[in-house]
Amino acid sequence: MPFYAQHIKAARLHLQKNDPVMKRVIKLVGPFHAKTKRDRFGTLVNSIISQQISVAAARTINARLLEATRELGGSPKLMPEGILKFDIEGLRELGVSRQKASYVRDLAEKVRSGAVQLDALPRQTDDVVIETLIQVKGIGLWTAQMFLMFSLGRLDIFPYDDLGIKKAICLHYQLGDLPEKSIMLEIAAPWRPYATVACWYLWQSLDLEEE
């Protein structure tokens, strides 16, 4: 589902009321403008390819992959059938590493077989979505959490292992070191049930620090 304006308004009011630090961060960053991604399969493929490489490199590889599947008469967007037309070596020729090529093919095979039913995920709980996605090689908890946040629009996801969130919390809550999980959960408690929105603001605040 998309991020509905009324939900984001309620989230901002909740965060501003319950956490003075978040109130300052929201004022610093400004309006919430994240959008959900409706192409669920393509989003997961892109997430796998993007791991541990630069944004620019990932964008280039994803564009090559999409163009290659289109040239084979496939869909205008990435689909399992298009991916599976390429073996590991074929994907490597497009710039995908051998390991990631095996991950992408595993995703495509599981979606095509029905082992992973992406269309059913919006009706599932957060835990079930995570359990479903981590069946796929190359998809871990963090990737599943990003999918919940920015593909399914879940409003209360807190990726406490995310380095950016740790850095932002360390900065804005004036901690000396990157916080442990227990401290992260304690700080995030007042954000519930809108942890996703709080995290988006924290990520955006880091971008402002780098400017």
Kindly state whether residues 182 and 204 are assigned to the same domain: yes
Tell me: pLDDT of 120 over 60.
Answer: yes
The verdict on pTM exceeding 0.85 is yes
Tell me: pLDDT of 202 over 80.
Answer: yes
**Structure-token pair, residue 93:** 């020729």
Kindly state whether residues 26 and 91 are assigned to the same domain: no
pLDDT band at 71 (very low <50, low <70, confident <90, very high): confident
Total count of domains within the chain? 2
Kindly state whether residues 127 and 47 are assigned to the same domain: yes
Among all residues, which ones are annotated catalytic?
162
Tell me: pLDDT of 210 over 70.
Answer: no
User: Do the beta carbons of residue 104 and residue 69 sit within 8 Å?
Assistant: no
Kindly state whether residues 188 and 174 are assigned to the same domain: yes
pLDDT band at 74 (very low <50, low <70, confident <90, very high): low
Kindly state whether residues 140 and 116 are assigned to the same domain: yes
Kindly state whether residues 14 and 71 are assigned to the same domain: no
pLDDT of residue 209: 65
Burial of residue 151 (number of CB atoms within 10 Å: 0-12, 13-18, 19+): buried
Cα separations (Å) of 125 from 30, 67, 101, 145, 181? 30, 34, 29, 12, 23
Query: Can you tell me the mean pLDDT for 67-71?
Result: 86
Kindly state whether residues 48 and 146 are assigned to the same domain: yes
Task: Give the chain's end-to-end CA distance (angstroms, integer).
Answer: 32
pLDDT of residue 72: 74
The torsion angle over the Cα atoms of residues 21, 24, 28 and 29, rounded to 10 degrees, is 60
Kindly state whether residues 24 and 72 are assigned to the same domain: no
Nearest to 135, CA basis, from 116, 157, 114: 116
Kindly state whether residues 56 and 131 are assigned to the same domain: yes
Kindly state whether residues 122 and 47 are assigned to the same domain: yes
**Cα(91)–Cα(209) distance, rounded to whole angstroms?**
37
**Cα(185)–Cα(169) distance, rounded to whole angstroms?**
11
**Cα(96)–Cα(103) distance, rounded to whole angstroms?**
10
- Tell me the CATH number at 135: 1.10.340.30
Tell me: pLDDT of 208 over 90.
Answer: no
Mean pLDDT, the chain, rounded, equals 93
Tell me: pLDDT of 137 over 70.
Answer: yes
Tell me: pLDDT of 76 over 90.
Answer: no
Say what angle helices 195-210 and 163-172 make with each other, to 10 degrees: 80
Range of the domain at 183: 5-35+156-210
Kindly state whether residues 60 and 73 are assigned to the same domain: yes
Kindly state whether residues 29 and 77 are assigned to the same domain: no
pLDDT band at 53 (very low <50, low <70, confident <90, very high): confident
Nearest to 201, CA basis, from 9, 28, 35, 4: 28
